[in-house]
Structure 1
Amino acid sequence: MRTYPYVGPAEHLARASVATAGRPVTTAHALAVWLSEQPPDDVAEPFTYTVDTGLLLRLAPRRSEHVVCSGGVPVIAAGEMSFTRQGGNWEVDGVTNQSTGYCPDPESWAAVHAALETAGVEHPAYFTHAFTFRRCAGCGHQNIVRDEYFFCALCDEPLPP
């Protein structure tokens, strides 16, 4: 699996440490306990997640930076994840690779799938929304490619395919 280094703003990386890392989710029970500790309004929206090179899934509140959630380490997946209760158990009902700090490819799904399978958490078969990222060689802006339009949103330069 590909490893993604952090490519976002330096000030976010400066706040990241082992102490800031998100909550590890190693079992469905650990997920249920953590979600029960969250304010009800927070559970209604997606959470920030990362998966490290040891396949450890970490969760943090949505407005957390991915690099802070990871503790500052490279990851093999990152994005947003939402949950719903089904028959008394929590399961993933939405998951993306949307992280402009790490810019993981859609192929990072394999890491998310493996981490959720290891934890025993039910989940969709693939990303519910997958994103493609490209950095503009002209101005350096990080872009989310939409509708296969490979041009920079700021300077309109062509992006790498």
Structure 2
Amino acid sequence: MLDRVRPGRPGREITSADDLAAWLAERPADERDEPFTFVIDTGGALRLAPRRSEHVACAAGGPVLSAGEIEFARDGGRWSVCEVGNQSTGYCPDVTSWPAVAAALDRAGLEHPGGFTRPIVFRRCPRCGQHNIVKDDHFACAACAAALPAAWNLGPTG
């Protein structure tokens, strides 16, 4: 996947509500109603790309503070965040990455729900190395059934 990333072509940086409105206006109408790919780069900037984009492409191949999917709704003429989650199987960000997301949204002046609305728990299996999504607090590897650690263990995000 990294081979397909074009350096210098990250997702669109959003620094204000006006930036978001302009970027959304450029999107096809049917695309505005679905979630978008987002990353928070190491500088704390919110970057957006169409949903079917890879997070690593949105981050131009670099490390991130958080990544996932984000959805916006129009509220009184302004866009705000209505849904946001850390679903990124490329970066597997921990749910504790929320403060980086909140800080970027706050800097851009975008109202948000105050936490991930769709949090996902990721763990790497210590036995086979498989990345797992933990569902229903079942901390067992889907590939080899080994116990998964309680603490996030995927290393630095990115």
TM norm structure 1: 0.89
Paired positions, count: 150
1:3-152 counterparts in 2 under 5 A?
A: 12-152=1-141
Superposition deviation, residue 14 in structure 1: 1.6
Q: CA deviation at 1:151?
A: 0.6
Question: Deviation of residue 15 (structure 1)?
Answer: 1.7
**Bigger Cα displacement from structure 2, 131-140 vs 66-75:** 131-140
SS of 2:64's equivalent? coil
Runs of 5+ consecutive residues of structure 2 not aligned to the other structure: 151-158
**Residues 17-26 or 86-95, more deviating:** 17-26
Displacement after TM superposition at 1:30 (Å):
0.4
CA RMSD of aligned residues (A): 1.0
Q: Name the structure 1 match of 2:153.
A: none
- Whole-Å Cα distance in 2 between the matches of residues 63 and 156 of structure 1? 31
Identity rate, percent: 56
Counterpart Cα distance in 2 of 1:139 and 1:110: 31
Q: Shift of the alpha carbon at 1:140?
A: 2.2
Instruction: Please state whether the residue corresponding to 2:107 is helix, strand or coil.
Output: helix
Distance, in Å, in 2 between the alignment partners of 1:72 and 1:155 is 30
> Which 5+ residue runs of structure 1 have no aligned equivalent?
1-11
Aligned AA for 2:125? C
Q: TM-score, normalised by structure 2?
A: 0.91
